């Protein structure tokens, strides 16, 4: 029976007073008059909670601020991830323990290296291992999903995958992996009924059911519903922090645009060179023994790189408001140590030597020379750009030419921001900025048109934060790279932290994994110092954060409090950051109002 109107009105009043949907106990007297006996918060799925919040605002029982504060930002993620097509036929290849939720489809890879190569070539990878060790972590970072034959909920694979937010199935004990040393492309995942799944075949992981399935069975993620869109609209109106995406490929960019971002905060250019037809040219460039030879290869890479940027500028132009400026696209110049582009195994070295017509020994020698004791602290980032000016000059030229091409097509100039990675000295920035300006001038002279761009730095060494006062006047923006900044501030490599981190978090030596939750006391203190010194010497400095932490609500709150302009995170997490940014603004306004009332 429908409760009488008076009962509904009382319930609505109770919800309005407590500012959240409630489960309410009412008693009706003989005349049908209600009285309230008890009430408790209603446990709802995120989707239902959003619906309730939107309804209560529409009914006038809830403010928009209160509605926004009701939703746990992290919970939004479940609405955005892809899921397995419910109508698909499930051909189970292996079952195990559901160790990290979500679903992923990708090409089967049997080694961390294969997973990395696969991801670099732009295809999702599912990494299947007997078990994982810290040596596999780089492959797990690259993989869309992880499957292991051994281990339980607390195994290395399970812990790392949950940390990464990657679907994972462990302990698929009935399956086997055949792996031929040195030839990972010849192995197989063998199912309990004896079928052999070859590397490169598509498989799908259901991390919630604990199953590996044949084929690619994903549906695209649930389209943001009406209530979701309503709430995100309120969040966007309320937040003061801009939210950008870390996106390198047109695909990632399209996801970002669909889910809503204010621009691109980190476009890594190295991924653009792992495409099979480009990687050989890249390797040839690295192995070139003279400047002229290197220049000749870079000439061939230039149109490819220009094409990448043109695509990116066009997509972002379409995403921006039709009038006004195009959304900014922050492009990071080449960052990783060169040896990452070279094959590590004997077979790969031989194939490369053959392709380039060079002796195997000389390729091996060069690869050996490039090897470093601590690549994280080696010749990478702007140190590469300084050692090989022609690489960054090619990239700058590709950006400028693509910007002019895009403007010719769309009618308005894109807004590229060139980001220089791993700066640790003021003179690095001065030197590179000068070279970039010279390229801009040359392109302008050739094309007879002006290019608009900014140059800024990725603040990821402690020294860049400490020298912010000198770096800020030379920069249009600072983007704090909290991954590396955390590694260097702790003196702890993320790739090597694996088991150590688990022990440390379990023993409560660290309260939380600092690569998951931004360390406010140490890294945060350094960031604050950088923001203060930077702003004091360049009030117009645009300040952002572009690490893995970018979408974590506590990091977003930290950035809002520290006076950041934006955070940048992976496309799927952008809505989380937008909601978290709105909540941070609300919380700060409430605190300010409380302070004002106190006085």
Residues involved in catalysis: 156, 546
Contact of 372 with 339, CB cutoff 8 Å: yes
Nearest residue (CB) to its own copies, 263 versus 530: 530
Q: Are 496 and 532 in contact (CB under 8 A)?
A: no
Q: Which of 105, 279, 363, 488 binds its own copies (CB under 8 A)?
A: 488
Cα 563 to Cα 524: distance, rounded to the nearest angstrom: 13
Question: Which of 192/375 has CB closer to its own copies?
Answer: 375
Q: Does 378 bind its own copies (CB under 8 A)?
A: yes
Shortest distance, CB of residue 130 to its own copies, whole angstroms?
Answer: 11
8 Å CB contact between 576 and 243: no
Contact pattern for its own copies over residues 88 through 127, marking x by CB under 8 A:
----------------------------------------
3 state DSSP class of 130: coil
Beta carbons of 309 and 398 less than 8 angstroms apart: yes
Work out the angle at residue 570's Cα, subtended by the Cα atoms of residues 569 and 571, and round it to the nearest 5 degrees.
Answer: 115
Residue 9 as a binder of its own copies (CB under 8 A): the answer is no
CA atoms within 13 A of residue 11's CA, in its CB half-sphere: 18
**How many chain residues touch its own copies (CB under 8 A)?**
55
* DSSP3 helix / strand / coil % (the chain, rounded to 5): 50, 15, 30
Interaction between residue 386 and its own copies (CB under 8 A): yes
The nearer residue to its own copies, 305 or 482, going by C-beta atoms, is 482
Q: Six-digit token pair at 89?
A: 């036929």
Pair 65, 177: CB distance under 8 Å: no
* Closer to its own copies by Cβ: residue 255 or 487: 487
Q: Name 68's Cβ contacts closer than 8 Å, sequence gap at least 6.
A: 231, 234, 235, 238, 579, 582, 583, 586
Tokens of 434: 């000068």
| 45 or 133: CB nearest its own copies | 133
Is residue 598 part of the contact set for its own copies (CB under 8 A)? no
Q: Which stretch binds its own copies (CB under 8 A): 44-52, 95-103, 397-405, 484-492?
A: 484-492
Q: Does 462 bind its own copies (CB under 8 A)?
A: yes
Q: Which is nearer to its own copies, 71 or 523 (CB)?
A: 523
Using CB atoms within 10 Å of the CB of residue 181, give its burial: 0 to 12 exposed, 13 to 18 middle, 19+ buried. exposed
Q: Contact letters (x/-) for its own copies, 509-528, by CB under 8 A?
A: xx--------x-xxx-xx--
Segment interacting with its own copies (CB under 8 A) among 58-66, 285-293, 312-320, 367-375: 367-375
Among 123, 227, 340, 496, binds its own copies (CB under 8 A): 496
Among 162, 177, 345, 490, binds its own copies (CB under 8 A): 490
| CA angle, residues 230, 233, 239, in degrees to nearest 5 | 140
Q: Mark the segment that binds its own copies (CB under 8 A) among 131-139, 204-212, 433-441, 446-454.
A: 131-139
Residue 85 has phi, psi (to 5 degrees) of -55, 120
Among 18, 44, 377, 449, binds its own copies (CB under 8 A): 377
Output the smallest distance, CB 437 to its own copies, in A. Answer: 18
Burial of 454 (0-12, 13-18, 19+ CB in 10 A): middle
Q: What is the spatial distance between Cα 580 and Cα 558, in angstroms, rounded to a whole number?
A: 11
State yes or no: residue 476 binds its own copies (CB under 8 A).
no
List the one residue from 252, 317, 393, 484 that touches its own copies (CB under 8 A).
484
- β-pair partners for 95: 211
Return d(Cα 16, Cα 36) in angstroms, integer: 14
Residue closer to its own copies by CB (options 493, 568) is 493
Binders of its own copies among 146-205, rule CB under 8 A?
none
> Which parts of this chain interact with its own copies (CB under 8 A)?
133-135, 138, 368-369, 371-379, 381, 383, 386-387, 422, 424-425, 427-428, 431, 460-463, 466-467, 470, 484, 487-493, 495-496, 500, 503-504, 507-510, 519, 521-523, 525-526
């Amino acid at each position: 029976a429908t409760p009488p109107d008076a009962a509904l009105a009382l319930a609505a009043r109770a919800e309005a007073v407590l500012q959240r949907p409630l489960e309410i106990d009412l008693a009706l007297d003989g005349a049908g008059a209600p009285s309230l006996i008890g009430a408790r918060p209603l446990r709802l799925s995120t989707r239902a909670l959003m619906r309730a919040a939107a309804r209560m605002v529409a009914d006038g029982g809830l403010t928009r601020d209160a509605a926004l504060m009701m939703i746990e930002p992290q919970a939004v993620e479940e609405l955005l991830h892809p899921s397995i097509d419910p109508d698909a036929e499930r051909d189970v290849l292996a079952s195990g323990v559901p160790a990290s939720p979500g679903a992923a489809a990708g090409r089967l890879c049997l080694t961390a290296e294969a997973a990395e190569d696969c991801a670099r070539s732009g295809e999702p990878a599912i990494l299947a291992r007997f078990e994982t060790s810290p040596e596999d972590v780089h492959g797990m970072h690259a993989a869309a999903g992880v499957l292991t034959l051994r281990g339980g909920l607390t195994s290395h694979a399970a812990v790392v995958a949950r940390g990464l937010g990657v679907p994972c199935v462990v302990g698929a004990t009935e399956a086997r992996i055949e792996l031929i040393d040195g030839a990972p492309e010849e192995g197989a995942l063998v199912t309990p009924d004896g079928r052999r799944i070859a590397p490169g075949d598509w498989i799908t992981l259901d991390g919630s059911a604990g199953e590996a399935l044949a084929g690619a069975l994903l549906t695209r993620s649930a389209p943001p519903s009406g209530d979701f869109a309503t709430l995100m609209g309120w969040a966007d109106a309320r937040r003061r922090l801009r939210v950008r995406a870390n996106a390198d490929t047109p695909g990632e960019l399209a996801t970002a645009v669909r889910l809503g971002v204010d621009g691109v905060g980190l476009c890594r250019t190295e991924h653009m060179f792992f495409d099979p037809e480009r990687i050989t040219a890249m390797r040839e460039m690295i192995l070139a023994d003279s400047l002229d030879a290197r220049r000749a290869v870079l000439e061939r890479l230039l149109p490819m790189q220009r094409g990448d940027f043109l695509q990116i500028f066009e997509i972002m132009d379409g995403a921006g408001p039709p009038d006004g400026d195009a959304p900014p696209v922050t492009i990071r110049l080449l960052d990783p140590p060169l040896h990452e582009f070279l094959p590590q195994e004997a077979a790969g070295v031989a194939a490369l030597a053959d392709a380039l017509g060079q002796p195997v020994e000389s390729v091996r020698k060069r690869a050996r020379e490039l090897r470093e004791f601590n690549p994280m602290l080696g010749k990478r980032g702007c140190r590469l750009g300084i050692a090989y000016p022609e690489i960054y000059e090619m990239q700058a030229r590709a950006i400028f030419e693509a910007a002019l091409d895009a403007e010719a097509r769309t009618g308005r100039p894109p807004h590229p921001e060139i980001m220089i990675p791993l700066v640790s000295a003021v003179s690095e920035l001065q030197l590179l900025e000068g070279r970039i300006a010279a390229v801009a001038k040359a392109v302008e002279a050739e094309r007879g048109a002006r290019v608009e761009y900014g140059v800024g730095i990725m603040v990821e060494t402690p020294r860049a934060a400490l020298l912010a006062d000198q770096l800020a006047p030379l920069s249009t923006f600072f983007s704090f790279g909290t991954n590396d900044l955390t590694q260097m501030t702790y003196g702890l490599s993320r790739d090597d932290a694996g088991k150590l981190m688990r022990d440390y978090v379990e023993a409560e030596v660290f309260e939380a994994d600092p690569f998951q939750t931004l360390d406010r006391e140490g890294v945060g203190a350094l960031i604050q110092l950088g923001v203060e010194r930077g702003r004091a010497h360049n009030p117009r400095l645009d300040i952002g954060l572009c690490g893995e932490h970018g979408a974590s609500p506590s990091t977003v709150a930290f950035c809002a409090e520290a006076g950041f302009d934006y955070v940048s995170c992976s496309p799927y997490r952008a809505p989380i950051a937008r909601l978290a940014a709105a909540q941070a603004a609300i919380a700060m306004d409430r605190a300010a109002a409380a302070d004002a009332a106190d006085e």
